[in-house]
Amino acid sequence: MKFQHVPASRGALWVRQGVAAFATRPLAYSGLLGLSLFASFVLAFIPLLGPFLLLGAFPLLSLGFMIATRLTLAGRSPMPTVFIAPLRVDGPRRRAQLWLYAGYALAAFLIWLLTYAIAGSRVIELQQLLYSANTPPEVLDARLSDGHLQLGMLVLFALSSVLSVVWWHAPGLVHWGGMSASKALFFSLVACWRNRGAFAIYMLVWFGTALAAVILVSLVSSLLGQLEVGKVLMLPVWLMILSAFYASLFFTFADSFELPSADTDTGSPSP
């Protein structure tokens, strides 16, 4: 699979293409996301292995949505089988995918351990404060001003960003390109770096979209004097934005590499 270089402006186009794909099959994408959230909830409660299985499922989740978008572009409605399609392939590609999932889980776990070593239980306490609707602003401000917490969050954000870049294209390169896990990780890193301008715009536009949605819902609910309604509406708005984001992942891959022809039955490449 050959690299393709795109201008920075392509990042905004990826967002628009993702939104358009979601708008084509909103119920299908919403159903896939709902299924993913339910599966994550189930995995989280499996003793011992649950957290690792949950972390390792993230690359599978992204690839499943990429396959879903490719099917959507072909005029087909994506089904939940998109999440098992990456494992219904030949042995070498399946083993490479499993190595990717295991490697991602291990790397994410090590990043969390390092963050905890720096910030201790402050990260968990911050999560609890953010989830609580009755947290006083001064308590939250005091927690956020903690130097150890700030350093821990900085390390978490920086290393998680590197992890995302290295794994961004890797599942697709294994699935459609037949690469080994190590080769896929390398080429994913190189492709993201070569198109770093487009990816920077891509992430900024998504951040702006999410922020604008929060502001709009909050403003409308405040004007109507129905703050509780705004809280209720925020959930489906976030789910739609997240679904559109996952729908856009395929376009970041398709513009970074030359894709092989697709099999009309599975959304996987022809042998």
**In contact, 217 and 230? CB cutoff 8 Å:** yes
120: phi then psi, degrees, rounded to nearest 5: 65, -145
Asked if residue 12 has pLDDT above 80, the reply is yes
**In contact, 231 and 238? CB cutoff 8 Å:** no
Is residue 262 in some structural domain? Answer: no
Instruction: Please write the tens of the pLDDT for every residue from 95-134.
Output: 999 999 999 999 999 999 998 888 877 777 777 776 666 6
Is residue 1 in some structural domain? Answer: no
**In contact, 206 and 225? CB cutoff 8 Å:** no
Which residues span the domain enclosing 14? 10-254
Is residue 201 in some structural domain? Answer: yes
Is residue 35 in some structural domain? Answer: yes
Cα 113 from chain centroid (whole Å) = 21
Q: What is the domain count for the chain? A: 1
Q: Please state whether 109 falls in left (phi above 0), alpha (psi between -120 and 50) or beta.
A: alpha
Is residue 164 in some structural domain? Answer: yes
The pTM for the full model equals: 0.86
- Both tokens of 39, joined, read 């599966």
What average pLDDT does the chain have? 87
Is residue 72 in some structural domain? Answer: yes
- Both tokens of 5, joined, read 């270089």
Using 50, 70 and 90 to split pLDDT, how confident is the model at 262?
A: low
> Residue 212 and residue 207: Cα distance in Å, rounded?
9
Is residue 60 in some structural domain? Answer: yes
Using 50, 70 and 90 to split pLDDT, how confident is the model at 230?
A: low
pLDDT recorded at residue 266: 47
Is residue 83 in some structural domain? Answer: yes
